[in-house]
Amino acid sequence: MPPAIEATGLRKAYREVQVLDSLDLTVARGTVFSLLGPNGAGKTTTVRILATLTDADAGRARVAGHDVRTERRAVRHAISLTGQFAAVDELQTGEENLRMMGRLSGLPRAAAHRRAAELLERFALTAAARRPVRGWSGGMRRRLDLAAGLVRPAEVVFLDEPTTGLDPRSRQELWQVVRDLADDGTTVFLTTQYLEEADQLADRIAVLDAGRLVAEGTAPQLKERVAGHRLDLVLTDAAAYERTLRRLAGRAVHRSPETLTLGVPTDGTAADVRARLDALDPDRTGIARFALHTATLDDVFLALTQKEPLHV
């Protein structure tokens, strides 16, 4: 079986702005793949190209074995897309929304009713099924939106920043939905700005910055390549903070001027920690205290954006 998603050399520009710059991606079937990046990195444009909503200026892409340019109908039949905002009818009940989507997808009336009931149960929405959606919480609306996209079974599900604006409990509920989809063999392509979300869910992660792929691998691989550990330094005052920041010359992976804290990569050994402390504070007056942490995806993101591509 071919990969669920293959993209080679994708390029896209809007006037003078190069949104995607020779992007290559491969996503295995039945996995959760997360595309990370700041606003404007090109995440949504990537999803729109792969979902056949936008044409790339150059490059090729196949989704579920079909070319996104020449086999649009086949691609659309194989995918589901949930955008950044819930696209449900707030005046209808949850049950009515799903029945309507079933009918629009070509299901007979009885089949649409059965499918709506199945999805309401699967997404834990049965108790609220006959209430107007306008009274639902944000998390419930997002689950209904995702359920609506699955009225017709999909091989590949695109989730474009699905938890934006949700409270922590609602995010956790949606994370479980994503896990369940992957357990059922569905390929999930997830874009997010929440590094914890990618860490929790993704089998493989790609970091996108200014339209270029700057890192790709599993979460542990990325953390290990960037820095097995992070040394957090708390400086004595603002002058010491600025002085140490200059000495780091761009190597800081964490900055907090409010708490006078700087984070630097380290392999975690005593020898390396001592060497870094001596190099950054030779007269031993600038660093008040320090702490050693395991590297996080935040460190990966800060260390790798605006640098040369890194593959692991």
Residue 296 in this model has a pLDDT that exceeds 50: yes
What is the pTM assigned to this prediction? 0.73
pLDDT confidence tier of residue 226, bands split at 50, 70 and 90: low
197 near 222, Cβ under 8 Å? no
Q: What is the DSSP string of 69-107?
A: TT-HHHHHHHEEEE-SS----TTSBHHHHHHHHHHHTT-
102 and 235 within one domain: no
Is residue 114 helix, strand or coil?
A: helix
Backbone angles phi, psi at 218, to 5 degrees: -75, 165
Mean per-residue pLDDT, 271-298: 89
Q: Is there a single domain that holds both residue 39 and residue 57?
A: yes
- What is the CA 211 to chain-centroid distance, rounded? 15
Q: Nearest-CA neighbor of 66 among 56, 74, 55?
A: 74
Residue 50 lies in a domain: yes
Of 183, 204, 223, which one is at a domain's C-terminal end? 223
Residues 174, 268 within the same domain: no
- Average pLDDT score over residue span 231-244: 94
pLDDT in tens, 128-142: 999 999 998 888 888
Last-in-domain residue among 171, 190, 223 = 223
Round to whole Å and give the CA distance between 262 and 285.
16
Residues 281-285 have a mean pLDDT of 92
306 domain residue, yes or no: no
Per DSSP, 133 falls in state: G
Residue of 19, 23, 20 lying closest to 8 (CA atoms)? 23
**Is the residue at 252 inside a domain?**
yes
Q: How far is CA 312 from CA 43, 206, 216, in A?
A: 21, 11, 6
Clarify whether residues 24 and 162 are in a common domain.
yes
Do 57 and 187 fall into the same domain?
yes
Looking at the fold, whether 39 and 113 belong to one and the same domain comes out as yes
What is the total count of domains within the chain?
2
The domain in which residue 83 lies consists of 5-223
- Domain match, 44 and 168 both: yes
62 and 169, same domain (yes or no): yes
Does one domain contain both 48 and 155?
Answer: yes
Other Cβ atoms closer than 10 A to 193 = 16
Q: Residue 283: which CATH number?
A: 3.30.70
pLDDT digits (tens, 9 = 90+) for 84-129: 666 788 899 999 999 998 898 888 999 999 999 988 988 889 999 9
| 154-202 pLDDT tens trace | 899 999 888 877 778 878 888 888 898 889 899 999 998 777 888 889 9
Q: Does any domain span residue 299?
A: no
Q: Is residue 303 part of a domain?
A: no
- Domain membership flag for residue 311: no
Buried-state track 120-151, b at ≥16 Cβ within 10 A, e below 16:
bebbebeebbeeebeebeebbbbbbbbbbbbb
Are 253 and 239 part of one and the same domain?
A: yes
pLDDT for 307 beyond 50: no
Question: Which pLDDT score is estimated for 305?
Answer: 66
Say which CATH number the domain at 130 has. Answer: 3.40.50.300
At residue 308, the pLDDT reads 41
Residue 272 lies in a domain: yes
Query: Does one domain contain both 287 and 197?
Result: no
Residue 94 lies in a domain: yes
Q: Are residues 198 and 252 both part of a single domain?
A: no
